Amino acid sequence: RVNATRLNSPKLYRSVIEDVMSEVRELFLDEGVDEQVLHELKTVSASNFHKWEVL
């Protein structure tokens, strides 16, 4: 059972990253934050999850 959870973890974390980016996108743009910042945030988040070996 633990192995099944571990196998599903990358999909879960990617889904969380996508959901967060979707939710904050309009807020960031409304505040004048360049969309490139969102892209960089997504990249850094995914990189950190890779370091933690969950992606």
- Which runs of consecutive H residues, i.e. helices, occur in 1-55? 2-30, 35-51
On whether the pTM is more than 0.75, the answer is no
Does the pLDDT value for residue 5 go beyond 60?
A: no
- How far from the centroid of its chain's Cα atoms is residue 23's Cα? 11
Which residues constitute the domain of residue 45? Answer: 2-51
What 8-state DSSP symbol labels residue 32? Answer: T
Distance (Å, rounded) from C-alpha 14 to C-alpha 19?
9
Q: What is the CATH number of the domain that holds 13?
A: 1.10.287.100
Distance (Å, rounded) from C-alpha 55 to C-alpha 35?
24
Q: Model confidence over 13-48: pLDDT tens digits?
A: 889 899 999 999 999 999 999 999 999 999 998 898
Domain count, the chain: 1
